[in-house]
Amino acid sequence: MTRVLSCIQPTGDVHLGNYLGALRNWVAGQHEKDAFHGIVDLHALTITEAPDIVGQSSLQLAAMLFAVGLDPAVTTVFVQSHVPEHSQLGWIMECQVSFGELSRMTQFKDKSAKREHDFLSAGLFSYPALMAADILLYDTDEVPVGEDQRQHLEITRDIAIRFNHRFGETFVIPTAVMPKAGARVMDLQDPTSKMSKSAAADTGLISMLEDPAAIMKKFKRAVTDSDTEVRFDRAEKPGISNLLEILAACTGETPQALATKYTQYGSLKVDTGEAVVETLRPIQARYHELMTDRGQLQSLLRIGADKARSVASATLARAQRSIGMLPA
Ligand code: AMP
Ligand code: TRP
C-alpha cells in the first residue's frame, strides 16, 4: 500500500478553509493509502515566542484531527517529539546537507528577512534537514505539498539520493504529489484572498470552533457586490462565488446548480451560514468531548506514536548501520 505522509505545525487555529480545502480530503482518503499525519511541534519551536503554548496547541490540533474524522485505527496520528527518532535522524540529515543548499531555501530567505531584527534561530535555517528526516523515516512514497513546500521536498530527495549513493541503498525516494483539490475558501471580507490565519482581521475567517451565532453574523456581513444577480463567476463575482462554493462543499451540490436556486443575496448568505453551522456542529461536539477527556486523547496519541516509532526506529537503525556507526 502506498505510504503517504503529511504534517502540520501546531500553530494557530484550524479554520474552515483548512477543513474544506484539506482535512476533509485526508479523512475521505484514509482507507486508500497508508496515511501518517505528524503534528510537527519541533518545527514550531523554530519560531515559538512564548512558553507553555506548544504542548496545548499540539493537543488541540490532535483533538481537531480526530474530531474531523481521522480514525486512529486506520491512520497514524502522532506528535513529532513523541518519536525521538525525528531528532536523531534530523542531526544526521543536517550533516548530509550543505550550508549553501540551505542558504538557497526561499522560505528561509523570506522568513529571515521578515525577522531581521528578531532572534533568528539556527533551527529556522536547518529546518529542511528535520523535514527530510520526517519524510525519510517513514519510507514515504508520497508527500502531498502545496507550492510553498515544493523546494523542501526537492532538497529531501537530493539528500536521500546523495545518502544512498554514499552509504548504499537506505532510503525510499519520496515523490511530491498535488494534494487532492478541495474547495478553495476565500476570506469573507476580502473574497479575492484565501481565508488564512494570517489575515489582518478575523471578521473574514471562520474558525472550526466558532459558535453558531458568530458564524451567522460573519456570513450575513460577508462582502458581496452591488449587483443583484446570483451567478458562479469567480472573476466577476468573487464574493457570491465564494458563498456558492462554501455552500456546495457543505451540501454536496455544485456551485453552478445552487446559483440557479437563488435570486437574492440575503437568503444565500443565511443558507450558507446555516450549512456551515450544521457541518461544524458534530465536529465541535466531538472536539469538546475529546478535550474534556485528556487521558483518552493522550492514549490515542500514544497509539499513534507507538505505530510511528515501530517504523521510524527501523529506518533510523538502517541509516546508522549504513553509515557504520557503532551500535549501542
Ligand atoms: P496552512 O494552514 O496554510 O498551512 O494550510 C494547511 C492546509 O489547508 C493546506 O493543505 C492548505 O492548502 C489548506 N488551506 C489553507 N487555507 C485554505 C483555504 N482558504 N482554502 C482551501 N484550502 C486551504
Ligand atoms: N514544513 C511544513 C510546513 O511548514 C511542515 C512539515 C514538516 C512537513 N515536516 C513535514 C510537511 C513533512 C510534509 C512532510 O507546512
CATH number at residue 257: 1.10.240.10
- The answer to whether the CB of 134 falls within 8 A of the CB of 40 is yes
9 pocket-lining for ligand 2 (C-beta < 6 Å): yes
307 included as an active-site residue: no
Strand, coil or helix: 279: helix
Tens-digit pLDDT profile for residues 153-204: 999 999 999 999 999 999 999 999 988 778 899 999 999 999 998 877 899 9
197 included as an active-site residue: yes
Catalytic residue, chosen from 33, 109, 111, 180, is 111
Three cell numbers at 313?
526506529
Same domain? For 67 and 112 the reply is yes
134 pocket-lining for ligand 2 (C-beta < 6 Å): yes
Same domain? For 154 and 232 the reply is no
Same domain? For 301 and 252 the reply is no
Q: Which residues contact 70 (CB under 8 A, 6 or more apart)?
A: 26, 27, 30, 37, 77
Same domain? For 146 and 58 the reply is yes
Tens-digit pLDDT profile for residues 91-131: 999 999 999 999 999 999 998 888 878 889 999 999 999 99
pLDDT of residue 190: 95
Is residue 191 assigned to a domain? no
Give the count of domains, the chain: 2
Same domain? For 102 and 227 the reply is no
57 pocket-lining for ligand 2 (C-beta < 6 Å): no
Give the span between the Cα atoms of 278 and 251, in whole angstroms: 10
Same domain? For 135 and 230 the reply is no
Is residue 207 assigned to a domain? no
Same domain? For 217 and 230 the reply is yes
Domain that holds residue 276: 212-288
The bound ligand whose nearest atom lies closest to the alpha carbon of 13 is 1
CATH number at residue 32: 3.40.50.620
